[in-house]
Amino acid sequence: MNILKFITAGSVDDGKSTLIGRLLYDTNSILDDQLDAIKKANRKNNDGTVDLAILTDGLKAEREQGITIDIAYKYFQTERRKFIIADAPGHIQYTRNMITGASNSELIIILIDARKGVIEQTKRHSFLAKLLDLKKVLVCVNKMDMVDYEQAVYENIKTDYLALAENLGLKDVDFIPVSALKGDNIVHDSEKMSWYEGNNLLDYLETIEIQGNTKRAWRFPVQWVVRPQTDELHDYRGYAGRVIGEGLSIGEKVVILPSGVQSVVKEIEFAEKSLDQAHDGQSVIIHLSDDVDVSRGDTIVAADRPALAERNFEANICWFDNKPLDLSTVYLLQNHSAVTKIKIVDILFKVDVNTQEKMYDGEIKLNDIGKVSIKAAGEVVFDKQHDNAENSRAIIIDPRTNITVGAIMIDNVA
């Protein structure tokens, strides 16, 4: 059974948490003790029904204020598929939380309040979906019950969003009109929107096929060197990590980056069993035919399709910290398990998420999105974003506080 990882995003009070709660409730995926806790919370909707948003509001402040502050993950499954859901905050000051959830998702559900249409947060989250190279965008026009289920309202919003998608370069976009509060088109088809002929949300999620980038080369960031040094495993040396991309197989010639040393894959081990080939997302241990120096933070790649190993590069950046980006500060860059000292030498521009126009005011602050030039103390192993998005991402850490202050997507060699 395959797994679909998706995130819900949208503005404040667009109904993201309610949609997830309705999805879980109508698929009988809520445990009895969870139902009891919801009822005891005594948070009601205007019509007197239980507020299903409580299911994802785990923090006390979230329950008190009726908002989502941090990413909440929920897991459920049907006969067709397993799901991992991330519920993202809608407030602009929690954009950094949304990026965290989106970076691990394959599909994004962008909720739009039928009464408000396309607004700033819609544009911001759509821009981030493009920036993070999410493979599929589903727009759920929510609260259709508040506009009397009018088809014209839905069609107007669809037209507006398609114009935004074209401007951003989002190509794979679908639409569903829903009412998370009433349950219309969530798990059951809506009798009040007979004009809509597509799938309801659950059918869509169960049947959608996410097409990966079949052209990208595989990568194997080493997370740990397995060296037991016991009597029975005296010569055992394996390299543990998670595979990015397809094609890693026994007998393949490889290069260890950044050193450039070459070898051949001798064995692939998964749960104490040998595999001929490892697949995308699999956590395995690989063994090489040569006794070479490989450390945590190195990346093993195909010899005929290697990654880049550079000290100077340009990257799109999302800033997380309350303090503005400081060009005089030495930061740490972490991509996978490799950590390198860096300096951000120049701010090339910022982006206005409403117009997608470039701005040149020379400062990047909390939740700003822009492009920067970076110089690293050592070689950083990466792919350009359009070649292999997952291997282009990294986080920036302030070593003085150990706080993650930004996220980058590398898109060019400087």
pLDDT at residue 378, as a whole number: 96
pLDDT at residue 134, as a whole number: 86
pLDDT at residue 352, as a whole number: 87
- Look up residue 128 and give its two tokens: 């981030």
pLDDT at residue 234, as a whole number: 75
268 contact partners, CB below 8 Å, separation of at least 6? 248, 249, 250, 274, 275, 276, 277, 278, 284, 285, 286, 287
pLDDT at residue 163, as a whole number: 95
Where residue 218 falls (left for φ over 0; alpha for ψ -120 to 50; beta otherwise) is: beta
Instruction: Give the model's confidence band at 69: pLDDT under 50 very low, under 70 low, under 90 confident, else very high.
Output: very low
pLDDT at residue 59, as a whole number: 40
**pLDDT(326) > 70:** yes
**H helices within 132-278, ranges in order?**
151-168, 201-207
User: For the stretch 162-174, what's the b/e string if a residue is b when 16 or more beta carbons lie within 10 angstroms of its beta carbon?
Assistant: eebbeebebeebe
Q: Above pLDDT 90, what percent of the chain?
A: 61
For each of the domains in the chain, give its residue range(s) and CATH number, in order of start.
Answer: 3-207 (3.40.50.300), 219-302 (2.40.30.10), 308-413 (2.40.30.10)
What's the pLDDT tens digit per position in 187-242? 999 999 999 999 999 999 999 988 765 668 999 999 999 988 777 777 889 999 99
- Please state, rounded to an integer, the average pLDDT across all residues of the chain: 88
**pLDDT(53) > 80:** no
Q: Count how many residues are written for the chain.
A: 414
What's the pLDDT tens digit per position in 100-138? 778 888 999 999 999 999 998 898 889 888 888 888 999
Least confident of 32-36, 247-251, 406-410: 32-36
pLDDT (mean) for 18-22 = 88
pLDDT at residue 346, as a whole number: 96
Instruction: Give the model's confidence band at 51: pLDDT under 50 very low, under 70 low, under 90 confident, else very high.
Output: low
From 303, 279, 259, select the one nearest 214 (Cα to Cα): 279
Tell me the pTM: 0.84
**pLDDT(293) > 60:** yes
pLDDT (mean) for 284-292 = 95
Q: Is there a contact between 89 and 13 (Cβ–Cβ < 8 Å)?
A: no
Instruction: Give the model's confidence band at 61: pLDDT under 50 very low, under 70 low, under 90 confident, else very high.
Output: very low
Ramachandran angles phi, psi of 163, nearest 5°: -65, -40
pLDDT (mean) for 40-58 = 61
pLDDT (mean) for 79-83 = 93
pLDDT (mean) for 289-315 = 96
**pLDDT(62) > 60:** no
Where residue 126 falls (left for φ over 0; alpha for ψ -120 to 50; beta otherwise) is: alpha
**pLDDT(20) > 80:** yes
Return the SS3 of 204. helix
* Choice between 259 and 76, residue whose per-residue pLDDT is larger: 259
- Look up residue 373 and give its two tokens: 């030039």
Full strand arrangement of the beta sheet holding 82-87: 72-77, 82-87, 3-10, 107-113, 136-142, 173-177
